[in-house]
Homo-oligomer: A and B are copies of this chain.
Amino acid sequence: MPKVKIYVTLRDGILDVQGKMIHRALGSLGYENVDEVKVGKYLQLEFEDDADIDQKIKKMCEQLLTNPVIEDYTYEVE
């Protein structure tokens, strides 16, 4: 049963408020050597079989799982 991991992040140029807030919070906790923090979504899907799996994942991502206006994604099949 293939396991698919999808990582969704905000597109470049879009202000990542969550990332910025976490960055600030890390700073105030004394973690000074972090340069950047980005926050995204992590989806884990279990497929029954791997027929056309790449094509299916792409379609799902474009149709439902991400919003291309603001989000990019990458994925891995295990």
Contacts and interface: CB of A to CB of B under 8 A. Distances in A.
- What number of copies of this chain does the assembly contain? 2
B48 A38 contact: no
A51 to B, nearest CB: 8
Interface residues of chain A: helix, strand, loop or mixed (majority): strand
A64 interface: yes
Interface residues of A, number: 33
Interface centre among A38, A42, A44 (most CB of B within 10 A): A42
Interface of A: 1, 5, 7-9, 22, 25-26, 29, 31, 33-49, 51, 56, 60, 63-65
28 contacts: A5-B7, A8-B42, A9-B42, A9-B44, A22-B43, A22-B64, A22-B65, A25-B64, A26-B60, A29-B64, A31-B56, A31-B60, A33-B47, A33-B49, A34-B46, A35-B46, A35-B47, A36-B44, A36-B45, A37-B45, A37-B46, A38-B43, A38-B44, A39-B42, A40-B41, A40-B42, A41-B42, A42-B42
